[in-house]
Amino acid sequence: MMEIDVFTLFPDAFGWFATQRHVTNALARGHALGLVNYRDHTPLSGRQVDDTPFGGGAGMVLRVDVVEAALRARYGRDPVSLGAVRRVIALDAGGRLLDDALVDELRQAPALTLLCGRYEGFDERILEHFATDRVSIGRYVLAGGELAAMVVCDAVLRKLPGSLGHADSAVEESFSAALQGGPEYPHYTRPAEYRGWRVPEILLSGHHGRIAGWRREQSAMRLSRHEHRPGNGPLP
């Protein structure tokens, strides 16, 4: 069973996310999504969690003592050794880029802890001593790690068996090994013709073997057309 804990200053931000079908399916099957508010565990007065950066500069930095207190409250152990039993992932714009291979790695972990930063981010000692990974969802800076944490949770949870309605939908999709890392083939549904735009005839033919071949071909074409640039694309 996958157990994901998200540490955040804004647990309410996950309200909508937690109602998504693949998430409720995963939870109904015994997987767990926990939300921990750093503020509920801060040892500082006034529910303080962040501070101004040493050396000056704009913004606020999430404090290492606050993050330690929250991790200790949740796991009852020194967070320095937490990495032995779960992957502790700091959401960080400069971290390892999230792709299908990383999602596969994460879903096989015994458990995940996601640390959301805010403002200017984390005190570096959090990353150095508590986190096992730094993960980025793209080379741009978000106001906080919450959206990135939801992206990671979404991508991991939907790959757990039974999360999606149809058992195969997560298998033969973009970037997965079933398509040799290629982008997905195009999909169509009714109406078969709309404003003169016809669905490819082969998909209406009922020839499953030829349809499978056409899909592989389309996927390969998309890959070679460089819709996905090298370095940004699915291949390692």
Find the binder of ligand ADE among 6, 61, 71, 148 (CB under 6 A): 148
As measured in angstroms, the least distance from the Cβ of 118 to ligand ADE is: 9
Q: Which is nearer to ligand ADE, 138 or 213 (CB)?
A: 138
Stretches 29-37, 63-71, 89-97, 218-226: which one binds ligand ADE (CB under 6 A)? Answer: 89-97
Kindly state the number of chain residues that form the binding site for ligand ADE, as judged by CB under 6 A.
Answer: 12
Within positions 171 to 190, which residues make up the interface with ligand ADE, using CB under 6 A?
none
Q: Which is nearer to ligand ADE, 110 or 138 (CB)?
A: 138
Q: Which is nearer to ligand ADE, 14 or 185 (CB)?
A: 14
Asked if 2 interacts with ligand ADE (CB under 6 A), we say no
Within positions 190 to 219, which residues make up the interface with ligand ADE, using CB under 6 A?
none
Q: Measure CA of the first residue to CA of the last residue in the chain; give whole Å.
A: 28
Asked if 60 interacts with ligand ADE (CB under 6 A), we say no
As measured in angstroms, the least distance from the Cβ of 136 to ligand ADE is: 4
As measured in angstroms, the least distance from the Cβ of 196 to ligand ADE is: 42
Asked if 145 interacts with ligand ADE (CB under 6 A), we say yes
Find the binder of ligand ADE among 92, 109, 115, 222 (CB under 6 A): 92
Asked if 111 interacts with ligand ADE (CB under 6 A), we say no
Stretches 38-46, 85-93, 177-185, 207-215: which one binds ligand ADE (CB under 6 A)? Answer: 85-93
Question: Tokens standing for 122?
Answer: 């984390």
* Token pair 């939870």: residue: 27
Secondary structure in 3-state letters for the chain = CCEEEEEECCHHHHCCHHHCHHHHHHHHCCCEEEEEEHHHHCCCHHHCCEECCCCCCCCCEECHHHHHHHHHHHHCCCHHHHHHCCEEEEEEEEEEECCHHHHHHHHCCCCEEEECCECCCECHHHHHHCCCEEEECCCCCCCECHHHHHHHHHHHHCCCCCCCCCCCCCCCCCCCHHHCCCCCCCCCCCCCEECCEECCHHHHCCCHHHHHHHHHHHHHHHHHCCCCCCCCCCCC
Q: How far apart are CA 27 and CA 46, in angstroms?
A: 34
Binding site for ligand ADE (CB under 6 A): 91-93, 117, 136-138, 140-142, 145, 148
